Structure 1
Amino acid sequence: MAGYTPMMQQYLSVKEEAKDALLFFRLGDFYEMFFEDALTASRELEITLTGREAGAEERVPMCGVPYHSAEGYIARLVEKGYKVAICEQVEDPATAKGVVRREIVRIVTPGTVMETKSLGDGANNFILGTAEADGRFGLAACDLTTGELYVTSFAASREAVRNELNVYRPAEAVGDAASLARLSEESAASGRTLLCTVREEADASPQSLAAQFPGELWEQADPVRRLAVARLIAYLGETQKRSLGHLRSVKAYDPQMFMALDAFTRRNLELTETVRDRSRRGSLLWLLDKTRTAMGARLLKRWIDQPLLDEAAIKERLDAVEALHGSWMQREELRTELNEVYDLERLVGRIAYGTANGRDLNALKASLGRIPAIRGVCAQLGSAQLVRLAGALDDCADLAAAIDAAITDEPPVSVREGGLIRTGYNAKLDELHIASKDGKKWIAELERQEREATGIKSLKIGFNKVFGYYLEVTRSNLGALPEGRYERKQTLANAERFVTPELKEKEALILEAEDRMVDLEYELFTELRDRIAGQIPRLQKLAEQVAALDVLQSFAEVSAERRYTRPAIGSGYELTVTDGRHPVVEAVSEGTSFIMNDTSLTDDSSILLITGPNMAGKSTYMRQVAMIAIMAQIGCFVPAKRAELPLIDRIFTRIGAADDLVGGQSTFMVEMKDIQVMTEQATSRSLVIIDELGRGTSTDEGMAIAQAVIEYVHDVIGCKALVSTHFHELAHLEQTLPRLRNGCMAVKENADGVTFLRKLVAGAADSSYGIYCAQLAGLPETIVSRAYGLLEGSAAGETAAAGIGAKRPSASGASAVGETGGSYAGSGPETAEADAGGLVQLAMFAEPEPPKTEKPRKPASPGAERIAEKLRKLDVMRMTPLQALEWLNDARNLLMESGESS
């Protein structure tokens, strides 16, 4: 550092403490960055890069941002994955000898952001602590803004790590290299960025942890849990450089307490975000979120991420929802009261952090003032859980009263400007207020007296921070001033400024009073804030209870609005749903009628093999069953007329095709890996959903694999399963597997095409209508016609001897998939072809090839082509005479309209 100025030497010394962070170095009213930090910040923030003379031969790269707007710049850098170290001036520049002392007061990282504007009220921001040893994986998850801290441990498998990672979706992690490598791999696979910091050492002794978390039984905890928590707390202490007073309790759990949902299942079912654009709208979370508080919204997401496996706990939630569901007036009153409750969890976090201002304390007071009314509403309802919950609500009246006595109704944003404390709260402060007020009155009186004594009506007394109070007289009136009393202080273009001994004496009293007022108000405010911080456990418990109430009323509100019913939860095997609906599809399809379907998966019928056309609703139906099960196990009513559900320990889904391009895996390989996980982890209590099993490889091999998987689920696992397939030949499994039943999606055919009824019926389908779906998708008519020709030609060659033609939409009035529709002659190739049995299938509109001496035949007109196409689809044998006449009349009108009647 030789050759650099003292200030730059100080910068380089501080930078050594935060080598992996961008250093915001406070210089007056700016945070400055130098060297590589300046180059990075100027590029990422798109701010001007300049230079500074620092004693070296070359200018040092430099850029900076104003201190009062630094929060936004810091947030942008953190969102991009950077750490930002904030270095402040920690001594008064006016009294400093030499370079002002500066220290890093905090390091902001993606997982330790406290400014909630960039986070969103309804979202947590988790940072993880991890540890891996002896085949066990320990994981601690903390949201610093709310004080939530969860810890768990499990067998160190890839699937288990992935499942827990998807519960928290962390922004940052700290731990040993091995555990972080697992997290990084799984996070990248999910398309998320995770900032990792390796920390091998930490004091994980029970005594050390007990100092931060009194009352926890650390001696009995899994060692990897202790180590994960210890690493996390050590890292938070180093980066935040302050007491973590709101981290006083740990919520320990085992993953086996909740329904297991892997990453694919969460994505496929769109529980918290949609597959297409990862938006909230269109997800189950979006549908169920009628919460009125930010903490309720965060808890709702956690409940959806972790459906319960405790039957008693589920029924307690359902009891509460039922009570609220049946009491509209009380529910509306509760929603009104909750709407006035601020984010207690984050308010408590700011109080503990020492960043809460007067407005935050008033928000806490206002929130506490709503608790008695909330308690009263709950007490009126018939639910034992709600009555018990209401009785446990602590309104913290003592804290609310203390805030009300101390803080003014409209305090300023800053806590160092005065105006925070009410008159009457502190006698000394009141004296200073009077001194300041009287002093200003004295100055106003002095101004009046001086005007009278000098006869200068424009004389005025002003104030600035350079030399305090002064008397200002215009140049034209200087001759009216008496000699000797006025001391010139400043000369302006059109006026002179003066002071008098009396004015300076009174100024000293006024300024001293105001300075002392500000200091005393800040001291009184911090005393009150610290007093409230000492009651954080009470406030955190209250916040947790209010959040739970909010989620329960949200369930009740959605259930009443959407006509959901209470499910019956039992410990048996059977899953029976009457008139079930897909909750989200129904919600986003407002104005259209959703087709309801039944489901029955029992000991005698545990697997449903679903066939039918594309776009007929197979995937929606299967997702619907899974969604109903999840909603029931989070304690919500379900979209059905009646539902009897068992406890499902895990849901596996394989829906949709998505190649793993990064991993170099095809759709088929991804599907097979998912199936492999299912075969390892599914139990008889699981629900398996596989859409289009066996696709992605040859037909014969795909069909063989599909049958083998179905047989394995049936014979070995014995769980409930919904399997859709286009291999209609698999329908024969109903004859060999006693617990498998066939089902298909009904279809209605008519002269204009095909209508998908989206109704599940018993039996197997005999067509997938793939070409018809291609036509609906807008493929050129030449491609569609050629596809039909190839399909029908192939079918004719294979089945003409049996008198069966290729399947194509018929002109029948109504027929469901699975019924025979007769032959579809007339839509094959334009030349007659003989099949293997010697039969000839003539194309209805085939024309002989013209002799070479003739001119080429004129192409068919558009109107004639349309008539011909309709005629190809016509099933004459099923038409009544009246229908035939109507069809001919329509054809004639079409030709007339196109001017082709001649």
Structure 2
Amino acid sequence: MNFTPMIKQYLEIKQQYPDTILFFRLGDFYEMFFDDARLASRELEIALTGRDGGGSERVPMCGFPYHAADGYISRLLAKRYRVAICEQVEDPAHAKGIVRREVTRVITPGTVMEGHLLEEKQNNYLVSIANDGINYSFAMTDISTGVFMVSAFTGNKGRVRLTEELARLLPAEVLLPLSQAERLSEDLALAGSVTISAYLDEAYDRVQALRELENQFGRDCPGDIKDPGFELTIPAAGALLKYLRDTQKRDLSHIRQINYYHPGRFMLLDASTRRNLELTRSLSDGSRRNTLLAVIDYTVTAMGGRLIRNWLEQPLLEKDEILLRLDAVDELLQQMMIRNDLKELLKGIYDLERLAGRISFGTINARDMVSLKKSLGCLPDLQGLLTKCKAPLLQETGHSIDLMEDLRELLDGAITDNPPLSLRDGGIIKTGFHAEVDRLRLVRQEGKSMLAGLEEQERARTGIKSLKIGFNKVFGYYIEVTRSNLEQVPQDYQRKQTLANAERFITPELKEYEDLVLGAEDRLIQLEYQIFCEVRDQFTGAIQRLQATAAAVARADALYSLAEAAAVGRYVRPGIDGDGKLIIKDGRHPVLEQVLREKFVPNDTIMDNQKSRLVMITGPNMAGKSTYMRQVALIIMMAQSGSFVPAASAQIPLVDRIFTRIGAADDLATGQSTFMMEMNECRAIVQGATKRSLIIMDEVGRGTSTYDGISIARALVEYIHTRIGAKTLFSTHYHELTDLDQIDGIINCNVAVKEDGENIVFLRKVVAGKSDRSYGIHVARLAGLPDEIVKRATDVLRGLETGEGAVETAACRESHRENEAVTLNEREQALLQKLRRLDVLSMTPLEALNQLYHLQQELKTDF
């Protein structure tokens, strides 16, 4: 087809990026054509139009102003599309033929750099995975902050450990080799939950991948990492770097450090446990509302917010590391003045991690530089405050701060305090920093003064009092004269533009002034931009210093947050118990207590490795069994994260894993019933738990028949207790299981209730002993089930409990009710006749009362 040159150019570029929506720059607009236009029009709800493309039919087209692109990009990324930004890379004024255009960046969900498109206090991870049939090669980055980490998942449990890590990271995008994409997305249950990008197989070739690593981190990169598992990470890490270069098309200088990490260095939590404990995401709506993170996050900076989230998601296993954090939190809690001063200093510090990323990408603007200058100005006082503290971790944090005084002085002298948003508008560089900038500003100012004088001069010469000199970007400077004064226009005026009510002119003198002013303006803007880039380049060489300081500030903020949470929540310092005892006095659920306030009932927990390793918990629905078990898990997690805990006192053992089996759910997509899901979770628990683990199991076996459920639950308890030896909280309504307390190490507890007639009061108190009732019918009454159903359930339960045989059917009950209704009507007939014959209106009140009394007596006698 004979397309126009511009459409041909579009099609050639689009062919290189077939899996993206191409934003094609035309002047001040981004346009989309053909299928991209149809798709974008539907997804972005913008008008679909057409354009002459050189053929017989108009080319489908839609678009929007370039300055509105961020909002549209955000909406497309949220729907997991990829966007290719195609810019004009040639000045149209100097172009011969069609303006040259190139894709300058491909934006995917995992490669977003723009701060306003990201969650401030949450990392945006891009993950790369490859599998050699046995081992999983793994790498992940957050390019907005520059973090780059690698790991390997090996052995029989490699796939399980990898899925657990993905559940922690919640990546925005996962990169897979093209030949493995379908299999891995199925094996790792990725489909539908994350954006999957299939990438070139050759990028995962070890030789090419190693070359990418050496180009980024230096030729000694592999030798810098001593762990033998690092070799396995090379394919995923190298492919990830190549993908970043292919999509971002720019320097990655802020990614200067590669870190190898072991997920096993931290407490392991599977996806089910993270979900059930609501660590960072609410079960109800997926937000952070009513989560543990919401309770302890008092961070002031975005960096601190991301770090406290990571601490919470990765509780520590090393006692010394935990004690270092606890010492720091303890000092900040006790020293309220230091804590308040720390908060005020942190308020002045912006997101240094992401500012460093924007410096590297060349997308930082002058206002960002002002934010950076203000942040650097807070560092001396922050360093001084922290280094005066006694806690070693606070001192170390203070000493890790690089004051970067040379760079702060550079910014203070170079960048104005209130620059414009765009780097192409001028007004960026401070007066006095650069002599040529000052001279051009003077020329521009004098030229404008001359123009003002010229306007007065021309008014006097022509006698036209309304004459004015104006300016626009299309025509430059002009003299405007209204139509009523055109007869007074001198002959040396040259007509430039005709308006409805006026004419615009130019003169040789005005043209001379225009060249002076606009020439100085253009040169000034270009020079200011050049100087700004030179200043930015000096920071590019100091990105690692900036990142190290950002990490120290984030740690100070996270420690402040834990101390503030302890002060607000009345938390206590936990003891980290080496002999495996778990002793919690008046423990509280950190989230629920904020909702219930003074109504929350604290509870004790005592578990050891001998007499009370497994606790069977019975009691009615709604009494608080699940809350109690969850609060124990959350208290342990908080302690191992370095936080104080909601209790009167606490001794916490080091727990390597926490498992939860709570609630009912099914997976219709994979054909798994609620009971099958339950059994899968139980399998994962018995396969993954160790003697150092904590297991929480709620109502196991309720998804099948009673005898099946009891049998499975009993066998499961016996296996966990005798074969695994993990500390376990096991709640159940199967009272048949309470005789397991005959086994050494298993004890019974129940959640107490108070009976008041047909009603019950939940005391929310966990006490020793077992319960023999579940009070399910009472809960049904509380839920508002119709009385008829509640009464019938009571009858059925009574029959079952007394063993009186088969339960009467509803049809039999209805027949009995009809016979009873007939009998009652016969008995009432005589009384009804008497009532009809009474002349109530002629009776005195006393007589009417007497008659009513006699009728009532007869009714009692009959019945």
TM-score (norm 1): 0.87
Q: Deviations over 1:628-669 (max 9, x none)?
A: 110011100011111111111111110111122222112221
SS in 1 for 2:607: strand
Show the counterpart of 1:166. 167
Aligned to 2:746: 740
Which letter does structure 1 place at the counterpart of 2:669?
V
Deviations 1:35-88 (A, max 9, x none): 111111111111111222212222221111111212211211111111111111
**Partner residue, 1:754:** 760
Aligned residues of 2:139 and 2:151 also touching (Cα < 8 A): yes
- The equivalent of 1:150 in structure 2 is 149
Cross-structure match for 1:32? 31
Q: Distance in 1 between matches of 2:488 and 2:685?
A: 100
| 1:242 corresponding residue in structure 2 | 250
Question: What residue is the counterpart of 1:351 in the other structure?
Answer: 359
- Determine the structure 2 residue equivalent to 1:777: 783
Structure 1 residue aligned with 2:712: 705
Cα deviation, 1:410-467, whole Å, max 9, x if unaligned, reads: 1000001111001111111111111111111111122222323333332222223333
Taking the aligned partners of 2:19 and 2:182, their CA distance within structure 1 comes to 19
How far apart are residue 348 of structure 1 and its match? 1.1
Q: State the partner residue of 1:511.
A: 518
Q: 1:229-251 deviations in whole A, cap 9, x for unaligned?
A: 11111011001111111111122
Amino acid corresponding to residue 96 of structure 2 in structure 1: K
Shift of 1:674: 1.3
Structure 1 counterpart of 2:414: 406
Following the alignment from structure 1 to structure 2, what is the Cα–Cα distance between the partners of residues 207 and 20?
27
The Cα offsets for residues 665-706 of structure 1, whole Å up to 9 and x where unpaired, read as 122211111111111111111111110122111211211111
SS in 2 for 1:598: strand
Aligned to 1:502: 509
Bigger share in helix: 2
SS at match of 2:394: helix
User: How far is 1:139 from its partner?
Assistant: 1.4
Residue in 2 aligned with 1:211?
215
CA separation in 2, counterparts of 1:319 and 1:787? 57
Distance in 1 between residues matched to 2:238 and 2:515, nearest whole Å = 53
- 1:127/1:170 contact within 8 Å kept: yes
Whether 1:396 aligns to 2:420 is no
Equivalent pairs, count: 817
Contact conserved, 1:573 with 1:603, CA < 8 A, in 2?
Answer: no
Residues 204 and 226, structure 1, Cα contact 8 Å, conserved in 2: no
Residue among 529, 536, 539 paired with 1:529? 536
Percent identical: 51
CA distance in 1: counterparts of 2:281 and 2:183, whole angstroms: 24
Match of 2:111 in 1: 112
Q: In structure 2, give the amino acid aligned to 1:466.
A: V
Distance verdict in 2 for CA 1:403–1:207, change over 3 Å: same
Is the deviation greater in 661-670 or in 6-15?
Answer: 661-670
Give deviations 1:786-817, integer Å, cap 9, x for gaps. 00011112222369xxxxxx9xxxxxxxxxxx
Distance 1:852 1:467, change over 3 A: closer
Deviates more, 1:315-324 or 1:303-312: 303-312
Output the CA distance in 1 between the equivalents of 2:244 and 2:403: 31
- Contact 1:573/1:646 (<8 A) preserved: yes
User: How far apart in 1 are the matches of 2:499 and 2:682?
Assistant: 86
> Which segment is superposed worse, 446-455 or 713-722?
446-455
- Of stretches 416-425 and 111-120 in structure 1, the one that deviates more from structure 2 is 111-120
Q: Look up the SS of the partner of 1:164 in the other structure.
A: helix
Residue pair 1:141, 1:168 contacting (<8 A) in 2 also: no
Distance (whole Å) between structure 2 residues aligned to residue 185 and residue 327 of structure 1: 52
Query: 1:86 and 2:94 equivalent?
Result: no
Deviation for aligned residue 1:181 = 4.2
Matched, 1:613 2:613: no
**CA contact under 8 A between 2:415 and 2:430: conserved in structure 1?**
yes
Tell me by how many angstroms 1:570 deviates.
Answer: 3.2
SS at match of 2:290: coil
Q: Structure 1 pair 310/485, CA: closer, same or farther in 2 (3 Å)?
A: same
Instruction: Tell me if the contact between 2:397 and 2:555 (Cα under 8 Å) persists in the aligned partners.
Output: no
Deviation per CA, 1:190-212: give whole Å up to 9, x if none.
96232322331225554541321
Secondary structure of 1:382's aligned partner? coil
> C-alpha distance in 1, partners of 2:823/2:776?
40
Give the CA deviation at 1:848.
Answer: 10
Which residue in 2 is equivalent to 1:822?
none
Kindly state the Cα deviation for residue 768 of structure 1 after the two structures are TM-superposed. Answer: 0.4
The amino acid that maps onto 1:116 is: G
For residues 285-332 of structure 1, the C-alpha deviation after alignment (integer angstroms, 9 at most, x for no partner) is: 111111101111111111111111111111111111001011111101
AA at the equivalent of 1:356: I
* Bigger relative contact order, structure 1 or 2 (CA pairs below 8 A, ≥6 apart): 2
Structure 2: give runs of 5+ residues left out of the alignment. Answer: 830-855, 857-863
Contact 2:136 2:159 in 1 (8 A): no
Paired residues of 2:25 and 2:87 also in contact (CA < 8 A): yes
Alignment deviations for residues 682-739 of structure 1 (CA, whole Å, 9 cap, x no partner): 111111111012211121121111111111111111111111111111111111x211
| Contact 2:574–2:644, Cα closer than 8 Å, also in 1 | yes
Deviations 1:245-299 (A, max 9, x none): 1111122201110111000000111111111221211110111111101111111
1:445 counterpart = 2:453: yes
Aligned to 1:841: none
Distance 1:57 1:154 in 2: 58
After TM superposition, give the deviation of residue 857 of structure 1 in Å.
Answer: 5.4
Counterpart Cα distance in 2 of 1:86 and 1:856: 90
Cα displacement (A) at 1:381: 2.6
What letter matches 2:36 in structure 1?
Answer: D
User: Is residue 573 from structure 1 mapped to residue 583 from structure 2 by the alignment?
Assistant: no
Contact 2:700 2:713 in 1 (8 A): yes
Specify the alignment match of 1:298 in structure 2. 306
1:725–1:453 distance in 2 versus 1, CA, 3 Å: same
Residues 728 and 857 of structure 1, relative CA distance in 2, 3 Å threshold:
farther
Matches within 5 A, 1:324-343: 324-343=332-351
Deviations 1:754-788 (A, max 9, x none): 11111111111100001111111111010000000
Q: TM-score, normalised by structure 2?
A: 0.91
TM-aligned CA distance change 1:581 to 1:50, over 3 Å = same
CA deviations on 1:839-879 (whole Å, 9 max, x unpaired) are xxxxxxx9995886962659xxxxxxxxxxxxxxxxxxxxx
Q: Could you tell me how far apart the structure 1 residues matched to 2:453 and 2:757 are?
A: 99
Structure 1 residue 179: Cα displacement:
5.8
- Return the match for 2:436 from 428, 435, 440: 428
Q: 1:466 to 1:722 in 2, by over 3 A?
A: closer
Distance 1:239 1:854, change over 3 A: closer
* CA distance 1:337–1:534, shift in 2 (3 Å): same
Q: Which residue of structure 2 aligns with residue 588 of structure 1?
A: 595
Cα distance in 2 between the residues matched to 1:478 and 1:204: 75
Task: Mark the runs of 5 or more structure 1 residues left unpaired by the alignment.
Answer: 800-805, 807-827, 833-845, 859-894, 896-902
Structure 2 residue identity aligned to 1:766: D
Once residues 788 and 463 of structure 1 are traced to their aligned partners in structure 2, the CA distance between those partners, rounded to angstroms, is 90
2:836 corresponds in structure 1 to none
Inter-partner Cα distance in structure 2 for 1:135 and 1:373: 52
2-side partners of 1:373 and 1:192: how far apart?
Answer: 45
- Aligned counterpart, 1:797: 803
Q: Aligned to 2:599, what secondary structure does the other structure show? A: coil
